[in-house]
Amino acid sequence: MASEGIFVKVARTGSRATEVCLDGDRTVEAALEAAGLNLKSSEEVRVNGEPVETDYELEDGDRVTLVKNIEGGC
């Protein structure tokens, strides 16, 4: 039995989210590719608000957001 695709939303902070369907590879990397986004070195990936790596396995309804890293401190 073939697995069904999942739908996830992908966005860069401050931009409109794009919904994509993943019917094979269900990683963050696959979702970014499907949405036409490239991860910049100054960004981190979050899924539903939690930081993850690009090989993180997504589930139906997840929201992937590219967030600019903010460095600070004394």
Q: Using DSSP, state whether 29 is helix, strand or coil.
A: helix
Residue 15 lies in a domain: yes
- pTM, two decimals, is 0.88
Residue 73 lies in a domain: no
pLDDT at 74: 61
Number of compact structural domains in the chain: 1
pLDDT at 1: 41
Widest pairwise Cα distance in the chain: 56
Express each pLDDT in 23-37 by its tens digit. 999 999 999 999 999
- Cβ atoms of residues 32 and 11 within 8 Å: no
* CATH number, position 44: 3.10.20.30
